A and B are shown apart, each in its own frame.
Chain A
């Protein structure tokens, strides 16, 4: 039996391969958009909600899976429906499927 989730991910990957290189996806919130300012601030756009929140790790849902921001003394400076600003000492950003 095929996993429907896997089928969906494969479909998304195939679609992204065929799509020409552009920022259209990020602009239309179809893809997560991450902006880093040094090691102390990160702007995450296209988030679908907080999955885990600890002092050293913030994991958020994105369309393609999950995005983990690791570091120390992390705090969410601002949270809105689909974006957030993470402040603190950031030493890792990881995409998880």
Chain B
């Protein structure tokens, strides 16, 4: 039925109304003479029938013969539309230009899609591809997808397999990342446990090796705590072990936090201005008439948005430069507020190293007219054990 409708549209149809006493006879005559008649209906004493545009003039003899009155009610189809717009050359030229542009634009890459990446970010992959020549607006035939995929693999060690498929105007980058297996601990390598930093040992748990230092002793950075050289009393031999231990030690640390009571801040003012640019390949066309105003003190944000129509990406994007005028202001804060700020800075400092815990802290606060100072004496507790290999057969670099 759709095909019939399409054929009728392309050939054009004329719907006419028939009035008279011998309408049935008229219909019989035209159907008997091979004139196609369809969608014949009777409404309010008038017959309506539709025929092909080319056959309409053939009904005239039968109109005269049957004494009916025939009047055109509607015209449909391509021949009538074409006749209507026949003199509008600009329209046809526009359609032609559109088709030509569509055909040409299909020869370029307008979108890069990356799939299958987890460890390597999409931006990093796109950046690498851009460096190698795969950019938006690049002519497809100038690209070598195999070479690009190989270069991508070489650049990113995490990528084990990569393929670039040029599908229409989209460059689909499919990657497969390798599963990294961490280095297996070399349990057999002889090593000592030394202090990673100075402190007082509060607990020591030896898993392997011979304990050299005891609980309560103070050690300096690099000092031996558990030795990997173990003397066997029974056999009188010396054996080398892969020493390991957990050595918890306390050490002091000092931190000073200063919060000025008067601060000079850049405060944003009202009147955000957006400057839009249309990006066509390497071209950047401003979409505004006014001159871009360069504020001395301002916040600026730049973001690029790909243009899409109903989810379909267009071959250009828009860059928006957002300028927020700002003003430098001297702001005074109350000592309470300054104290809050200092405490939050202190908390951030303590959380900086999650391996250590705060055993004790002593805070000395000094408030002057200009600033508030926090002097904090910490006592931290941390596992200071560090394995250091025992270098056997160590050469001095001269091959000796």
B-binding residues in A (CB < 8 A): 49-55, 73-81, 84
Contact = CB atoms under 8 A, between A and B. Distances in A.
Interface of B: 23-24, 27-28, 31-32, 34, 36-43, 47, 49
A77 B39 contact: yes
13 contacts: A51-B24, A52-B24, A54-B42, A55-B41, A55-B42, A55-B43, A76-B27, A76-B41, A77-B39, A77-B40, A78-B38, A79-B37, A81-B32
A53 B24 contact: yes
B27 A79 contact: yes
B38 A81 contact: no
Given A55-B42, A77-B38, A79-B38, A49 B23 contact: no
Contact of A79 (B23, B31, B42): B31
Nearest to A84: B31
Nearest to A53: B24
A50 B38 contact: no
Nearest to B38: A78
Given A80-B31, A81-B32, A81-B34, A53 B23 contact: yes
A49 B31 CA distance: 9
Residue in B27, B31, B39, B47 with the greatest tally of chain A CB atoms within 10 Å: B31
A50 B39 contact: no
Nearest to A85: B38
Given A53-B42, A55-B43, A73-B41, 14 more contacts: A53-B23, A53-B24, A53-B27, A74-B42, A76-B37, A77-B39, A77-B40, A78-B38, A79-B27, A79-B31, A79-B37, A79-B38, A80-B36, A81-B31
Nearest to B43: A55
A52 B28 CA distance: 11
B378 to A, nearest CB: 90
CB-based closest 4 A-B pairs: A75-B41, A76-B40, A49-B28, A50-B24
A75 B32 contact: no
Contact of A53 (B34, B38, B39, B47): B47
Residue in A74, A75, A84 with the greatest tally of chain B CB atoms within 10 Å: A75
B8 to A, nearest CB: 11
Contacts of B49: 76
Contacts of B28: 49-50
Contacts of B23: 53
Given A51-B24, A53-B47, A75 B42 contact: yes
A75 B39 contact: yes
A53 B49 CA distance: 13
A15 B43 CA distance: 42
A85 B24 CA distance: 15
Contacts of A81: 31-32, 34
Contacts of A78: 37-38
B145 to A, nearest CB: 55
Nearest to B24: A50
A80 B36 CA distance: 7
A75 B24 contact: no
A41 B24 CA distance: 20
Contacts of A53: 23-24, 27, 40, 42, 47
Nearest to A56: B42
A50 B42 CA distance: 13
A76 B37 CA distance: 9
